[in-house]
Amino acid sequence: MITLSPCCNFRPICANERQALFNRIAPVYDNLNDLLSLGRHRIWKRMAVSWSGAKMGHRVLDVCCGSGDLALLLSEKVGSNGKVIGLDFSEEQLSVAASRQNSRTKNCFTNIEWVEGDALDLLFDDGWFDAITMGYGLRNVVDKRKAMQEILRVLKALECLSSTSIKAMSY
Ligand SMILES: C[S@@+](CC[C@H](N)C(=O)[O-])C[C@H]1O[C@@H](n2cnc3c(N)ncnc32)[C@H](O)[C@@H]1O
Protein backbone atom coordinates (compact mmCIF):
# COMPACT_ATOMS: atom_id res chain seq x y z
CA MET A 1 0.00 0.00 0.00
CA ILE A 2 1.23 3.49 -0.81
CA THR A 3 0.68 6.13 1.85
CA LEU A 4 0.90 9.72 0.78
CA SER A 5 2.74 11.96 3.22
CA PRO A 6 0.86 15.11 4.27
CA CYS A 7 3.01 17.10 1.81
CA CYS A 8 1.96 15.03 -1.16
CA ASN A 9 -1.83 15.09 -1.02
CA PHE A 10 -2.16 18.27 -3.07
CA ARG A 11 -3.61 20.33 -0.21
CA PRO A 12 -2.58 23.99 -0.42
CA ILE A 13 0.47 24.78 1.68
CA CYS A 14 -0.42 27.16 4.50
CA ALA A 15 1.55 30.28 5.41
CA ASN A 16 3.34 28.66 8.37
CA GLU A 17 4.59 25.82 6.22
CA ARG A 18 5.81 28.24 3.55
CA GLN A 19 7.60 30.25 6.19
CA ALA A 20 9.23 27.10 7.59
CA LEU A 21 10.21 26.00 4.09
CA PHE A 22 11.87 29.31 3.23
CA ASN A 23 13.65 29.32 6.58
CA ARG A 24 14.95 25.83 5.94
CA ILE A 25 16.25 26.48 2.42
CA ALA A 26 17.76 29.90 3.21
CA PRO A 27 21.40 28.65 3.28
CA VAL A 28 21.10 27.16 -0.22
CA TYR A 29 18.45 29.45 -1.73
CA ASP A 30 20.83 31.59 -3.84
CA ASN A 31 22.64 28.58 -5.32
CA LEU A 32 19.29 26.94 -6.03
CA ASN A 33 18.08 30.04 -7.88
CA ASP A 34 21.21 30.09 -10.05
CA LEU A 35 20.89 26.41 -10.79
CA LEU A 36 17.17 26.31 -11.55
CA SER A 37 17.11 29.44 -13.72
CA LEU A 38 20.59 28.85 -15.21
CA GLY A 39 21.52 32.25 -13.82
CA ARG A 40 18.75 34.04 -15.73
CA HIS A 41 17.04 35.25 -12.54
CA ARG A 42 19.84 37.83 -12.29
CA ILE A 43 18.79 39.38 -15.62
CA TRP A 44 15.07 39.25 -14.74
CA LYS A 45 15.79 40.97 -11.43
CA ARG A 46 17.72 43.78 -13.13
CA MET A 47 14.77 44.21 -15.48
CA ALA A 48 12.30 44.31 -12.56
CA VAL A 49 14.34 47.02 -10.84
CA SER A 50 14.50 49.03 -14.04
CA TRP A 51 10.72 48.67 -14.58
CA SER A 52 10.04 49.84 -11.03
CA GLY A 53 11.07 53.37 -11.95
CA ALA A 54 13.03 53.73 -8.69
CA LYS A 55 15.22 56.82 -8.76
CA MET A 56 17.83 58.56 -6.63
CA GLY A 57 16.37 59.63 -3.30
CA HIS A 58 13.28 57.40 -3.56
CA ARG A 59 11.82 55.40 -0.70
CA VAL A 60 11.24 51.87 -2.04
CA LEU A 61 9.93 48.54 -0.78
CA ASP A 62 10.92 45.05 -1.88
CA VAL A 63 8.13 42.71 -0.77
CA CYS A 64 9.07 39.06 -0.16
CA CYS A 65 12.71 40.11 -0.45
CA GLY A 66 14.18 36.70 0.44
CA SER A 67 17.96 36.87 0.50
CA GLY A 68 17.87 40.43 -0.81
CA ASP A 69 18.82 40.37 -4.51
CA LEU A 70 16.31 43.04 -5.54
CA ALA A 71 16.82 45.17 -2.45
CA LEU A 72 20.58 45.24 -3.06
CA LEU A 73 20.02 46.34 -6.67
CA LEU A 74 17.48 48.95 -5.56
CA SER A 75 19.94 50.24 -3.01
CA GLU A 76 22.31 51.37 -5.77
CA LYS A 77 19.41 52.86 -7.75
CA VAL A 78 18.12 55.10 -4.94
CA GLY A 79 21.56 55.96 -3.54
CA SER A 80 22.56 57.16 -0.08
CA ASN A 81 19.75 59.71 0.08
CA GLY A 82 17.15 57.06 -0.67
CA LYS A 83 15.81 54.27 1.49
CA VAL A 84 15.16 50.59 0.76
CA ILE A 85 13.00 48.34 2.92
CA GLY A 86 13.36 44.61 2.31
CA LEU A 87 10.39 42.80 3.81
CA ASP A 88 9.99 39.07 4.30
CA PHE A 89 8.45 36.73 6.87
CA SER A 90 11.41 34.37 6.86
CA GLU A 91 13.91 35.28 9.57
CA GLU A 92 16.57 33.04 8.02
CA GLN A 93 16.25 34.63 4.57
CA LEU A 94 16.58 38.06 6.16
CA SER A 95 19.65 36.97 8.04
CA VAL A 96 21.29 35.87 4.75
CA ALA A 97 20.24 39.21 3.22
CA ALA A 98 21.78 41.16 6.11
CA SER A 99 25.07 39.30 5.90
CA ARG A 100 25.24 39.97 2.15
CA GLN A 101 24.60 43.66 2.84
CA ASN A 102 27.35 43.71 5.49
CA SER A 103 29.85 42.14 3.12
CA ARG A 104 29.47 45.03 0.64
CA THR A 105 31.60 48.10 0.98
CA LYS A 106 29.78 50.73 -1.11
CA ASN A 107 28.27 53.49 1.02
CA CYS A 108 24.81 53.21 -0.54
CA PHE A 109 24.24 49.73 0.89
CA THR A 110 23.73 51.23 4.34
CA ASN A 111 20.37 52.56 3.06
CA ILE A 112 18.70 49.11 3.36
CA GLU A 113 16.62 48.06 6.32
CA TRP A 114 15.42 44.45 6.67
CA VAL A 115 11.96 44.08 8.15
CA GLU A 116 10.40 40.83 9.30
CA GLY A 117 6.75 41.17 8.34
CA ASP A 118 3.77 39.82 6.46
CA ALA A 119 3.12 40.85 2.86
CA LEU A 120 -0.60 40.46 3.63
CA ASP A 121 -0.52 43.03 6.40
CA LEU A 122 2.08 45.68 5.57
CA LEU A 123 3.09 47.86 8.50
CA PHE A 124 3.36 51.06 6.47
CA ASP A 125 1.13 54.08 5.92
CA ASP A 126 -0.89 54.60 2.72
CA GLY A 127 1.16 55.98 -0.18
CA TRP A 128 4.44 55.63 1.74
CA PHE A 129 6.61 54.23 -1.07
CA ASP A 130 7.70 55.74 -4.40
CA ALA A 131 8.27 52.29 -5.89
CA ILE A 132 7.69 48.66 -4.98
CA THR A 133 9.19 45.44 -6.31
CA MET A 134 8.21 41.84 -5.69
CA GLY A 135 10.37 39.05 -7.08
CA TYR A 136 8.79 35.60 -7.25
CA GLY A 137 6.69 36.55 -4.25
CA LEU A 138 3.15 36.64 -5.59
CA ARG A 139 3.24 32.93 -6.35
CA ASN A 140 4.26 32.25 -2.77
CA VAL A 141 1.74 34.25 -0.75
CA VAL A 142 -1.40 32.41 0.36
CA ASP A 143 -3.74 35.28 -0.60
CA LYS A 144 -2.65 37.01 -3.82
CA ARG A 145 -5.55 39.48 -3.87
CA LYS A 146 -4.79 40.68 -0.34
CA ALA A 147 -1.08 40.99 -1.16
CA MET A 148 -1.91 43.16 -4.19
CA GLN A 149 -4.34 45.30 -2.17
CA GLU A 150 -1.67 45.93 0.44
CA ILE A 151 0.95 46.78 -2.18
CA LEU A 152 -1.37 49.22 -3.94
CA ARG A 153 -2.30 50.80 -0.60
CA VAL A 154 1.30 51.65 0.38
CA LEU A 155 2.36 52.69 -3.13
CA LYS A 156 2.20 56.33 -4.30
CA ALA A 157 1.70 55.73 -8.02
CA LEU A 158 0.66 52.57 -9.84
CA GLU A 159 3.30 52.81 -12.56
CA CYS A 160 6.03 52.23 -9.98
CA LEU A 161 5.02 48.65 -9.19
CA SER A 162 7.30 46.00 -10.61
CA SER A 163 6.81 42.31 -9.99
CA THR A 164 8.40 39.46 -11.91
CA SER A 165 4.96 37.79 -11.89
CA ILE A 166 2.98 40.84 -13.04
CA LYS A 167 5.33 41.59 -15.90
CA ALA A 168 5.30 37.93 -16.86
CA MET A 169 1.50 38.09 -16.95
CA SER A 170 1.24 41.31 -18.89
CA TYR A 171 3.73 40.51 -21.65
C1 LIG B 1 10.77 32.55 -4.06
S2 LIG B 1 11.26 33.59 -2.71
C3 LIG B 1 11.73 35.07 -3.57
C4 LIG B 1 12.83 35.81 -2.87
C5 LIG B 1 13.40 37.01 -3.63
N6 LIG B 1 12.39 38.01 -3.88
C7 LIG B 1 14.05 36.58 -4.91
O8 LIG B 1 13.53 36.95 -5.98
O9 LIG B 1 15.07 35.89 -4.88
C10 LIG B 1 9.70 34.03 -1.99
C11 LIG B 1 9.85 34.74 -0.67
O12 LIG B 1 8.55 35.14 -0.25
C13 LIG B 1 8.50 35.10 1.16
N14 LIG B 1 7.09 35.12 1.56
C15 LIG B 1 6.10 34.27 1.20
N16 LIG B 1 4.94 34.64 1.75
C17 LIG B 1 5.18 35.77 2.46
C18 LIG B 1 4.37 36.63 3.25
N19 LIG B 1 3.06 36.42 3.42
N20 LIG B 1 4.93 37.70 3.84
C21 LIG B 1 6.28 37.93 3.69
N22 LIG B 1 7.10 37.14 2.96
C23 LIG B 1 6.56 36.07 2.35
C24 LIG B 1 9.28 33.84 1.50
O25 LIG B 1 9.75 33.83 2.82
C26 LIG B 1 10.42 33.90 0.47
O27 LIG B 1 11.57 34.51 0.98
- Strand, coil or helix: what is 115? strand
Mean pLDDT of 39-62: 95
Instruction: Determine the Cα–Cα distance for residues 18 and 157; give it in Å rounded to an integer.
Output: 30
- The pLDDT value recorded for residue 163 is 65
Annotated domain spans of the chain: 13-170
Share of the chain above pLDDT 70, in %: 85
* Pairing of β 131-134 and β 83-88: unpaired
Q: Could you say which of 3.90.180.10, 3.40.50.150, 3.40.50.300, 3.40.50.1100 is the CATH number of the domain covering 13-170?
A: 3.40.50.150
Atom of ligand 1 nearest to the CA of 134: 6
Atom of ligand 1 nearest to the CA of 23: 25
Contact 92 CB / ligand 1 (< 6 Å) = no
- The pLDDT value recorded for residue 157 is 78
pLDDT interval class at 62 (50, 70, 90): very high
Contact 30 CB / ligand 1 (< 6 Å) = no
Tell me what the pLDDT averaged over the chain comes to.
Answer: 88
Between 36 and 167, name the one with better pLDDT: 36
- The pLDDT value recorded for residue 108 is 80
Task: Find all residues with CB under 8 Å of 94, minimum gap 6, and list them.
Answer: 65, 86, 88, 114, 116
